[in-house]
Amino acid sequence: MAEIDEETGPAMERELRDAGHDALFIHTNVRDADSVEALVAGTVEHFGRLDVMVANAGGMFQAPALDISKRGFEAVIDLNLIGTWLCNTAAARAMIEGGSGGSIINMSSQNALYGALNGPHYGAAKAGILGLTRSVAAEWAEHGIRVNAVAPGGRTARAGAAPREGQLTGGGDPEYVENVAAATVYLASDLASWVTGHTLVVDDGGTFTNAPPRGA
């Protein structure tokens, strides 16, 4: 497991180990190619191979398009899109070398599908992830590597957001953590062995009911 926060990462590792799992935390900055390569190398060294990569690091700041500087725009692209690219290529190299294929899951957003007020840089980065996902899925298929994306919508229930107009169910916020996690696990599993180049939208129907776009 990769994390830039040197307090959160070890705590997560301990929690998983206490639950009986073989967990490994590696401090990682996805904006740095050497750091990402070290993550993959450390994972392969510990577990013997790399089966799954979930590229879910991301973030943004909210601002109107005309108030975003070139530097600010590039920072969001660097973290979200280029960071995802670095994780994908590092993982693919290890999977190809391992010879057993694998599954790569990229975290996009509903904002990639219909934009976001005060977040054009984020929407652009997340839309880029969808294009990247489809492109490398086609390129790496011959190696048995599946590449898919998950596009969550809305805000997490744990962040205290209330359900909004346009949701189809009353069971909580569309980006409820467990639902996004379940979608990710599905794409990583053999149940999705015939699924690649696909974007799985997890937004409680917000996309096709034209729910108003929200921030990250």
Cα distance between residue 26 and residue 30, in whole Å: 12
* Angstrom distance (rounded) from CA 195 to CA 77: 27
Q: Does residue 122 have an active-site annotation?
A: yes
Q: What is the DSSP annotation of 16-78? A: HHHTT-----EE--TT-HHHHHHHHHHHHHHHSS--EEEE---------GGG--HHHHHHHHI
Strand order in the sheet with 102-107: 52-55, 102-107, 145-152, 199-202
* Residues that are catalytic: 122
